[in-house]
Amino acid sequence: MEIHGLSILNCLITIGDEDPNDKLNILNKVTVNEVVNLQIKDSYQTLINSATVEFTRQITVKSSLKDEFGTREVKLMGDKDSLFKRGKRINIKLCYGIDENLKTMFDGYITSIVSGNPFTLECEDMGYILKQTALDPIKTSAKGTKINEFVPTILKGTGIELHPSTKEMNMEIGQIIYPQSCTAADILNRFKKWGIMCYMRNYNGIPHLAIGRTFFSVNTSESLLKDMPDTPYDIEFDENVAEDNLSIHKLDPALIALEAIALYPNNSMFKATIRRDPKDLSKFQVVNETKISKNQLKNTLLSEYDKNNNLTNQYGGKNTKIDLSAYNIRTFHEYNVNRDTLIKNAEAKFGEISQTGIDGDLTIFGDFGLQAGCKIRLTDNLNPERNGTYVVSEVITTFGVKGYRQKLKIPYKLSDK
């Protein structure tokens, strides 16, 4: 994208009522083209992302609603008919330059108002609906649960659909039991214990629920990476970067590990960590194996080796644990497999672990309008070791009197190209 250093900041903030027939639509729209400051926090690690918007009390609003005299006196706050109140829909579009460049950066609800001058709107994205969706107690099949079959049932009536890439994965997890009434958000947040992330992601401009393994999982067919566009955004350090707090370094191959996790239909787990053998780096060593329940020991998928050894730590001795705090650890997941199969498959994936360590963050200008879950290709002519394609896990967007900026966290390098 061509950089226009003198382009005017442009925002379009639309506020209105929720459409009961289509929660993604906004009724009785009022638009605002001025703001003191706003901040949008967007992360794949969070089911519901947030935004804060600061306005002065002297803002100009454009309303499609008129009274009998052909005008409308807009009350900003304070009563049931005021423009800014909890539960109102809000959509934020930002860009440089002309309106044709406007891009939706946030779509959600006003959840709180902090009075003052300027006053602040606290907002949550469309995932807010999931907190308002009450569910009866849930108990799925003891044989396990398929995401494609279960999640649409808890999304019913929300207007939110599964992201197409999630449908392609059709992941399987263990039995889900929730003995009391809950919300859809309660259920989805519990997926984290299985190494599965849930977050809102736009598809063709419409918010969808995306579900997948973290970027640190080597299960690429079930990873959030599958959700990303194939073509990364090109970031040139000497043109696009406003602030550089990034530290990139090569990792010691001897300090890389892979945590292998097997999940079973009854929700029990077996975990073991694979690393290079300190005495012979050409070989693998399995450490920190977990002890599992008696019920799991009866599982026919377990080998005699598993049962006889009771799945205790094989290298540190029974009831001991090796400290791996100095290691860079990725994860590998399998469903309903025995120990031998899990370890074998994890060792085969070990070579795919990136040996690039990344700390800090990078702040760019707002030319791209990035969102969490995208890929960027960095080019730094002064520090070529930084060059490569990275995953963006978190984006903090700021817009206002100090300009349009996006602070990126890029914890994982996909390739050197």
pLDDT for the residue 272 = 92
Residue 41 belongs to some domain of the structure: yes
Q: How far is CA 63 from CA 32, 36, 113, 351, in A?
A: 9, 20, 20, 58
Residues 363 and 394 sit within 8 Å (Cβ to Cβ): no
Whether residue 242 lies inside any domain: the answer is: no
- Concatenating the DSSP letter of every residue in 234-298 gives EEEHHHHEEEEEEEEEEPPGGGEEEEEEEE-TTS-EEEEEEEEETTEEEEEEEE-PPP--HHHHT
In this structure, what are the phi and psi dihedrals at residue 275, rounded to the nearest 5 degrees?
Answer: -140, 170
CA–CA distance from 211 to each of 112, 145, 191 (Å)?
28, 14, 9
Assess whether 143 and 212 both reside in one domain.
yes
Nearest to 357 by CA among 216, 186, 230: 216
Give me the domain span that covers residue 121: 9-125
Residue 334, judged by CB atoms within 10 A of its CB (0-12, 13-18, 19+), counts as middle
How far is Cα 370 from Cα 410, in angstroms, rounded to an integer? 12
Q: 303 phi and psi, to 5 degrees? A: -80, 165
> Is 241 a member of any domain?
no
Residues 348 and 363 in one domain: no
The token duo for 105 is 């950066």
Per-residue model confidence as pLDDT tens for the chain (417 residues): 444 444 689 999 999 999 988 888 999 998 998 899 999 999 988 999 999 999 987 776 666 555 555 545 455 554 555 678 899 999 999 999 889 999 999 999 999 999 888 889 999 999 999 998 888 888 888 888 888 999 999 999 888 999 998 888 888 887 888 777 889 999 998 888 777 889 898 888 788 999 887 655 555 556 665 556 668 999 999 999 999 998 877 778 888 899 998 888 777 788 899 999 998 888 899 999 885 554 544 443 444 444 444 443 343 344 568 899 888 888 888 888 888 888 888 888 887 776 677 778 999 999 999 988 888 999 999 988 889 898 898 999 999 989 999 999 998 787 878
325: three-class secondary structure by DSSP: coil
Q: In angstroms, rounded to a whole number, what is the distance separating the alpha carbons of residues 15 and 89?
A: 6
What's the confidence (pLDDT) of residue 317? 43
Instruction: Say whether both 145 and 73 belong to one domain.
Output: no
Of 178, 209, 227, the position where a domain reaches its end is: 227
Residue ending a domain, choose from 212, 227, 242: 227
Confidence at residue 81, expressed as pLDDT on a 0 to 100 scale: 57
**CA-closest candidate to residue 273, choices 314, 240, 236:** 314
- Do 211 and 293 fall into the same domain? no
Look at the chain and report how many structural domains it folds into: 4
Residue where a domain stops, chosen among 74, 108, 125: 125
- The domain that holds 172 is classified in CATH as 3.55.50.10
Sign of CA dihedral 289, 291, 296, 301: positive
CA angle, corner 355, sides to 351 and 357, nearest 5? 150
pTM listed for this prediction: 0.79
Q: Please compute Rg for the chain using Cα positions.
A: 25
Same domain, 88 and 115: yes
The 9-19 sheet, strands edge to edge: 61-63, 22-32, 9-19, 89-96, 103-114, 119-125, 50-55, 37-43, 394-400, 403-409, 356-365, 241-250
Q: How far apart are CA 125 and CA 51, in angstroms?
A: 8
Same domain, 31 and 89: yes
- Residue 156: CB partners within 8 Å, gap ≥ 6? none
- Report the sign of the C-alpha dihedral through residues 187, 191, 193, 199, in that order: negative
